[in-house]
Amino acid sequence: MCGLAGIVGRVGEANRLALQRMTDAMAHRGPDGDGIWMGPADARGWGVMLGHRRLSILDLTSAASQPMTDPERGDVTVLNGEIYNYIDIRRALGAQGQTLWSSGDTAAMLRLISMHGFDAVQELRGMFALAVWDPRRSELLLARDALGIKPLYFMRNHDASGDWTFAFASEVRALLRSGLLRKPRLRRSAVASMVWNGFTVAPETIVDGIESLWPGEMRVYSQDGRELRRKRYWTQAALPRNGESTDQDVAMALEDSVRRHLASDVPLGVFLSGGVDSSAIANVAKRVSRDPVHSFTLAFAEQERNEGEIARAVSRAIGTQHHEIVLRQEGFVDRLDEAMGSLDQPSFDGLNSFFMSQAVAQAGFKVALVGSGGDELFGGYTSFRDLPAMAAWSRRLGFVPGALRNAGARAFARWKAPNGGAFRPQTRWAKLPTMVEAGDDLLALYQCAYALFLPDTHRSLLGTAAQGLDAGYMGLSADVVAALRAEVEGRSDLSSIAALEQRLFLGERLLRDADSTSMAASIETRLPLVDQQLLEAVAALPDDVRFHPVRSKAMLRSAGLQGLDPALFDRPKSGFELPYDHWLLGALGSEVGEVLTDRDLMASVGLAPTVVADLWRAYRSGAPGLYWTRIWCLYALASWARRHGLSVESAP
């Protein structure tokens, strides 16, 4: 787990300094070492420059330092992440008579790609973003792992007379720090996405001019920065649909994934909330690990959010060495600025991972396994129950005229979610008319169900950020809508919901937030349940085995909780969330209210100041159906923009 950066442009001091600023901005991602490589220039002085920050996990010697050059073939790479099948790759290379200079994963990856070409990236299993320079072809490869665990951002120079054409990095903030983007500003469509979803959705980022590679994408560039090739080498559309996998296949794939994720030359722990997902990871880790398993839990004074006692009971049953960290409101408020500063892009989530990662780092660990991904794999969210039911009812009632269906939905919504003040409740019942209009379109139903606000409230909150939005906007760009529809085409309702959860809620919220907030503490988080081969094994299960009973995650319980008393997990599902709802009515509310009532700040980020202020007052007064997520989303957006000095208009 590291930070990478690169520039394609004039090989000289100006670009070297820009690259150094990018790597310096990512010092938290790699406090164990840094380096810059400047390739040979062509006839007009153009070339490739690579930078890296290192967090030493595998092969702690200087032989694994980056940028790494293959001593025999001359290829150069920078890698962020882990290649979990690197031992298999090393064995295969050894069988071909190849010897490597480092015992880590980067050398194995580099020699594989050097020998077999850029398409060999498809043979990598892991979480990674990488760049590889091939001196024989004078071509640069950029690639991102299949499930999008590790980020990779890039920007182009539209000034043909400039000294650079292309730059990339592991963080949006690093590209901003480079100074190459002369007049950075917020992207209006990304602001609209943030207010709809609570996060931006790749390939857009919150900054106009900075984009993200798609999950499972590779791109190839020439020495002068021209794009030569673009390919999605893996998408969920390729997942098996044969129903031929068995529970034993899944159990073996889970154990294999956990074992590979345990590979480390430094101390390693497990985030343990006491829920099914993290408990399954800790339980399997204890079974397959040769070393003691350390578990960590974040506990709260507010008992309704506190899972400390449950996690302690699970830890005792598994046999982990347990550590509990209690986070109180005053400690959260005292470190709020630092926590918000850990976010690479604004998000209404992620700070729980920040505080957990800080505690794990203070305990002397550099790697932590987390349980994210189980709900998406095995149908743990209410979306798996509600959305297929909505789609089924829409099909059954297709004979009823649309006007009559819509009128009935509006009347029912008024009864279930009556208007209690300036803002209608922003709940799923209040969304019923919009969902009825969506019919059996699962993507539209999904986006409506997860929207933070009703469509008309969303529009009213946007000021200048509403410019250019289509009338039927549902929180996603047209490119993303097309890609998602292709990924779910021909699938059952349940497997379609799983694909959407994997790509959006997990991929664009949980994974990205966990990456930036954990790396702020120089902690590598690993996700055994977010593994390409495990997903392929699970996707090949029949739906009635994979998902039923819906929301029970029975398959994961069977595969991961062997030997544990089922009564430990016989309780309502609760997410791993900080008690914002309590804290926003206490000391935290002062800071949040100051931001949300700052008219100039709200206008600068593309929001409607009066509407935002009214929403804040309605929340503070206890208006029904206004949950903390709606407030925190707007606060996170504005505070991030203020921190980085960005607005929807370019700086002069």
Annotated binding-site positions for L-glutamine: 105
- Phi/psi-derived region of residue 249, left when phi > 0, alpha when psi is between -120 and 50, beta in every other case: alpha
Per the CB < 8 A criterion, the answer to whether 370 and 514 are in contact is yes
Report the candidate in 615, 496, 478 with the shortest Cα–Cα distance to residue 546: 496
* Sheet arrangement for strand 294-300: 321-327, 294-300, 268-271, 367-369, 524-526
- Active-site residue among 2, 26, 78, 155? 2
* Amino acid found at 366: K
Q: How far is CA 648 from the centre of its chain?
A: 24
Does the CA dihedral 325-329-330-331 come out positive or negative? positive
Three-state SS for 489-500 is CCCCHHHHHHHH
Cα 342 to Cα 640: distance, rounded to the nearest angstrom: 10
Alpha carbon distance 192, 457 (integer Å): 12
Pairing outcome for strands 210-212 and 524-526: unpaired
Give catalytic status of residue 633 as yes or no.
no
Coil, strand or helix at 319: coil
Cβ atoms of 35 and 56 within 8 Å: the answer is no
Residue 431 neighbours by CB under 8 Å, 6+ apart: 413, 448, 449, 451, 454
Tracing tokens 């790699």 back to the chain, one arrives at 30
Residue 209: count other Cβ atoms within 10 Å of its Cβ: 18
Helix ranges, 335-401 (H): 336-340, 351-362, 374-378, 383-396
- Residue 422's CB is within 10 A of a number of other CB atoms, namely 13
The whole-angstrom separation of Cα 190 and Cα 196 is: 10
Choose among 498, 501, 442: nearest CA to 474: 442
Q: How far apart are CA 629 and CA 584, in angstroms?
A: 11
Residue linked to tokens 């994961």: 556
The DSSP-derived string for 144-192 is E-TT--S--EEEE---TTSSEEEEEES-HHHHHHTS-SSS--B-HHHHH
Instruction: For residue 96, give both structure tokens.
Output: 């071909």
Q: How far apart are CA 555 and CA 422, in angstroms?
A: 45
Residues in the annotated binding site:
105
C-beta neighbour count of 428 within 10 angstroms:
19
Tell how strand 139-144 and strand 217-222 pair up: antiparallel
Of 192, 232, 224, the residue nearest 208 (C-alpha): 192
Residues 144 and 127: their CA atoms lie apart, in Å, by 8
Other beta carbons within 10 angstroms of residue 408's beta carbon come to: 15
Which residue intervals of 182-240 are DSSP H helices? 188-197
Q: How far apart are CA 422 and CA 195, in angstroms?
A: 19
The type of residue at 179 is G
* Helices and strands counted in the chain (H then E): 28, 17
Active site amino acids: 2
